[in-house]
Amino acid sequence: MSVAKILAANRGEIARRVFRTCREMGISTVAVYSEPDAGEPHAREADEAVLLPGAEAADTYLNIEAVLDAAERAGADAVHPGYGFLAERADFAKAVTEAGLTWIGPSPETIEIMGSKPASKALMKSVGVPTLESVEPEGSTEVGGDVAVGVEADGPVGGEAAEAAAEAVKAAAASIGYPLMVKASAGGGGKGMRVVEGPDLLLEAVEGARREAAAAFGDGSVFLERYLDSPRHVEIQVVGDTHGNVISLYERECSIQRRHQKIIEESPSPAVGEDMRRNMGEAAVRAAKAVGYVGAGTVEFLVQGAEFHFLEMNTRLQVEHPVTEMVTGLDLVHLQIEVAEGAALCDEIPPIDGHAIEARLCAEDPLNDFLPVTGGFDKVWFPEREGLRVDSGVESGSKVSVHYDPMIAKVVAHASTRDRAAAALSSALRNAHIHGSTTNRSLLVRVLEHPEFLLGETDTGFLDRHGAARLGRPLLDAEGERRAAAACALADQALERASARVSSTISSGWRNSPSALQHRAFDGRHGRHDVRYSASAFEDEVLGEVVVVAASAGRVALSVGGVERRFKVARYGDLRFVDSDEGPARLVEAARFPAAEAEGDEGALHAPMPGKVVSVGAGVGDSVAEGQVLVVLEAMKMEHTLRAPHAGTVTAVRREAGDQVEADEVLVVVD
C-alpha cells in the first residue's frame, strides 16, 4: 500500500519534522491545530490544516473523535502520531485503523502491552531482559482500577474502599523499601513521576502522580518501583517491520534531566563500550520481538556500573531521535512511513559516524524551580553552521501557551568527536538571538561546558549535584552586563540621531554642547547600570576607559581595556536584547520617574504562572502548618504544588478548583 496524504496528529516541532520528510517523499500533509495555535508554524507549514475548536489539550489534540473527523474532512489516508498527546494511546491507534486509515506506528495490541509499565516489565523479565523490582498494590481495583489512595479523577472518594487502597499502597511501598519511585503506568516524558524518600509523603506523591498522569495521558494508574540513586539513563533505538525484522540503531544517553525529563541527549553514550552496546542492543531487539514491534520505538534502560535494567519502552518516536539520525545518516520518519507501507528493513546497519548532542531549549526558569514561562518571542534565530540542526515549533512572533509543553527548540550539533560536538552546540546556543520569554539557555550552555560533562561523567543526579541555581545563572557576569548596557546607550543615541536627521526634528540625541556627558540607565539581572557617555569615549567606574569604535541603531563596537567587542542591539519598547560572543543580555530601560511599588499581600500565595487550579486544600478560618499543601496548580502538562509559607490561619481563598488563573495572582492568604 502507498501513503498519499498524512495527517500529523500533533503540534510544534514534531509536526514540522513529519512535514519535512513527507515533502521529500512527495506525500501531501495535513496539520491539526487548536485555537491558541492558529497561525503557529506547524499550522502554516502543512499543505492543508484543520482547526480543532478549543484550547485545552483534552478538547483538541487529545480528542480522538475530533482528530479523526479532521482526517476524514481533509481526505488523509494515514495518521502519524508524533510523540506526546495520543502517540501512545492504544485506543487511538485502534480507532485510526478501524476508520480505514494507515497507522504509522506499532499495533494497538503492542501499544497496550508496552504502555502498561508493570505489564511490560513482566514480559521483559520472561524473555531475559534485566528489570528493576516493582509492584502494583493489591486492592487498587477498589478505586476505579487505579492506585488512587482514595482519589478518583473527579474528586475524593471516602469509605472502606479508599482506606483499603491507601493501606495497599503503604504495604506495597514497605515491600520495596525507601527511597522508591511512584510512576505512571502509561505515557512517559517524566509526567506522573515522584521520588519518595520516606512513608510520610507517600500518599501525597501517589495522588499527585495520578492526577498528573490522568491529565497528560488520560490514564491515572500508577505503580511503585525501586529507586536507583543517580544511575545513567541510556536507551536503544529500535525499528521493526511487518516481516518480523527488528534492528538496533545504537544507544542514546539521556542522563541530564530535570523533573525526570531529559534536557540534553547524545549518541553514542560516553559510558557504553562495544560489549555493553552489543548486549543492550540484543536485549532491546528481544524486547521488541516479544511484542511483534512494528515501526520506530525506544527501549530505555537504567545503567549503573556494568549492569543495565529495563525501564520502559516508548512505542513512538522520541524527542531526541535527531541524534540517532545524525550519527547514522538515516531519516527515522522516512523509515516509519516505509515500514507502514509494508517495506522490509535493510539488513545493513550504518556504522556510528562521529558524535551528536541535542539540547532542549525550553521557556522555563531554572532559577525558579524550572517553572515554565509563558509569553511571546519577538525574535528566534540560530546561526547556520555545518553540522548544526534546529528542530523548532517556535519562530519570531510565536507565543508559548499555558496549555502545552514549553519546549521552544531542539538544537543539535554533530561533529567528529564528542568534545567538538559539545563546543559547537554551546557556541550555537550562546550566539543565538532569542528575544522574549525567559529560557533555560544559560543552564544548557553551562552544562555543555562543565568539566564533568566533558569527561563523560554524567548521571541522573547531575543537576542536583551541581545546583540548578549555579548552572542556571546568567552567562554574563555584572561586568559583561555593564558592557551590554553601554552598547544599549550608544545604540539608542544612534537611533535618535538618525531619527532626528530623517524627521528634521530635534530629539534627545542632539546636544548643543557635544562634549557634555549624556546619561541613560538600564536594569538587568545584576541590577541598575547607569551609563554616562559621549559619542566617542567615556570613563566608567567599573569598565575603565571605553572607546567607541562604531555605533549604529543595531550594532555597536566598543574597545574595553584594549579588547574590541561587538554587540547587536534590538529594541522592543522599553526592552533591550543585546547579543554578543560573551552571551545574551536582557535589559529594561529604567524609567526616569518610577512609580511607587505596590505593597504586596502579607502571607499571600501567588500563582507562579498562568494555569488551572486542580485543588484547594484549606478554607477560610482553617489553621494550617508550615509547608502544608494549600493549592495544586496545573500548567503546561505539569503539576505545581503551593505550600503554606508559615503556620497560621487562612484569611482568604480567592480561587477554587477548576478556575483559570493568571501569573502572580493571589490565590490564598495565610495570616
According to DSSP, the residues that pair with 155 across neighbouring strands are: 152
CB atoms within 10 A of CB 599: 6
Burial (CB count within 10 angstroms: exposed 0-12, middle 13-18, buried 19+), residue 405 = buried
Question: How far, in Å, CA of 52 to CA of 32, rounded?
Answer: 6
**DSSP letters for 82-136:** -SSTTTT-HHHHHHHHHTTPEESSS-HHHHHHHHSHHHHHHHHHHTT--B--EEP
Question: How far, in Å, CA of 653 to CA of 321, rounded?
Answer: 45
**DSSP letters for 568-589:** EEEEETTEEEEE-TT--EEEEE
Reading the block at residue 420, the C-alpha cell is: 567538538
Question: How far, in Å, CA of 55 to CA of 33, rounded?
Answer: 9
Asked if 611 and 402 count as a contact pair (C-beta separation under 8 A), the reply is yes
Q: Of the listed 316, 360, 483, 586, which one is catalytic?
A: 316
Asked if 524 and 481 count as a contact pair (C-beta separation under 8 A), the reply is yes
For residue 608, cis peptide bond before it (omega within 30 degrees of 0): no
| Short-list 40, 47, 39, 53, CA closest to 18 | 47
Reading the block at residue 129, the C-alpha cell is: 531482559
DSSP state of 358: E
Reading the block at residue 184, the C-alpha cell is: 505512571
Question: Please, which residues have CB within 8 angstroms of residue 603's CB and are 6 or more apart in sequence?
Answer: 645, 646, 648, 651, 669, 670, 671
Q: Is 286 a catalytic residue?
A: no
In which residue are the cell numbers 503539576 written? 639
Angle in degrees, CA 317, 321, 323, rounded to 5: 175
Which phi and psi (to 5°) does residue 560 adopt?
Answer: -120, 115
Which phi and psi (to 5°) does residue 117 adopt?
Answer: -60, -45
Burial (CB count within 10 angstroms: exposed 0-12, middle 13-18, buried 19+), residue 347 = exposed
Q: Cite the active site residues.
A: 316
